[in-house]
Amino acid sequence: MAKEGFNTSNLHSDRKDNPEHGVLHKAIHPSVAYGYEDARHLAEVFQGKRAGYNYGRQLNPTVTALQNRLTKMEDGVASIGFATGMAAIASTMLSLLKKGDHIVSSTFLFGNTNSFFNTLVRLGIEVTFVDATEVGLIENALQKNTRLVFVETIANPVTQVADLKNIGDLCQIKNLIYCVDNTMTSPHLFSPKKVGA
């Protein structure tokens, strides 16, 4: 049998995951709190010693299903679900960067991403904005303390397309983190991993 394509694989993945009660698609779990037989069991879940859910704000079966689906779609190792794209970008940057670091970013960005990157400056993280359609401009902007290069696959809303492959090659050579916001294309149309992100 031929390997399933992207659409077929994603359409049928719920059934392959053996959802509870034989339903065709995963259920949505709106619960905030979860009950356990005794306090010890609950404590072990809270401490990460035992699998389970303890509070909806931290994780729930619906978010787990989403994360697993995204991981599969992106052919990844793991995923973390966020309420918004900006929450994902902020968490990523604040996890990877520290005071004194430098990033090179595309000039062509979603407005809120641009605003957030300007906020990073107040945290002691330097940001240089360049036209990411030309890899030479990215390379010229690199500094000794550059840690990361950030681009959008297709800039939102202006639709410039970054020189994705050549930027990925540059980041590999210079040992830089290559962060690609793939919002405008999704993994169905483009996989950032294929260009080293």
pLDDT for 149 equals: 99
CATH architecture designation of domain 85-195: 3-Layer(aba) Sandwich (3.40)
- Record the tokens describing residue 94, joined without a space: 């604040």
Q: What is the DSSP letter of 108?
A: S
Mean pLDDT of 48-76: 88
- Record the tokens describing residue 38, joined without a space: 């005794």
Mean pLDDT of 170-177: 98
Gap between the Cα atoms of 121 and 26, Å rounded: 42
Residue 165: pLDDT above 70?
yes
C-alpha distances in Å from residue 54, one per residue of 36, 44, 67, 83, 88:
9, 10, 17, 19, 23
Range from 13-17, 63-67, 152-156 carrying the lowest mean pLDDT: 13-17
Spatial contact of 124 and 145, defined as CB atoms under 8 Å apart? no
pLDDT for 54 equals: 85
Provide the residue type at 32 as one letter.
V
pLDDT for 18 equals: 65
Spatial contact of 113 and 181, defined as CB atoms under 8 Å apart? yes
pLDDT in tens, 93-105: 999 999 999 999 9
Gap between the Cα atoms of 9 and 1, Å rounded: 13
- Residue predicted with more confidence, 124 or 83: 124
pLDDT for 111 equals: 93
Gap between the Cα atoms of 193 and 177, Å rounded: 12
- Residue predicted with more confidence, 97 or 4: 97
Mean pLDDT of 184-195: 89
Provide the residue type at 33 as one letter.
A
**pLDDT tier at 25 (50, 70, 90 boundaries)?**
confident
pLDDT for 8 equals: 74
Residue 138: pLDDT above 70?
yes
- Cis peptide before 19, with omega less than 30 degrees from 0? no
Spatial contact of 74 and 180, defined as CB atoms under 8 Å apart? no
Gap between the Cα atoms of 101 and 6, Å rounded: 38
Gap between the Cα atoms of 68 and 72, Å rounded: 6
Domain ranges of the chain: 21-81, 85-195
C-alpha distances in Å from residue 183, one per residue of 13, 82, 186, 192:
22, 13, 6, 11
Gap between the Cα atoms of 148 and 129, Å rounded: 12
pLDDT for 19 equals: 65
pLDDT for 14 equals: 66
C-alpha atoms less than 13 angstroms from C-alpha of 188 in its C-beta half-sphere: 10
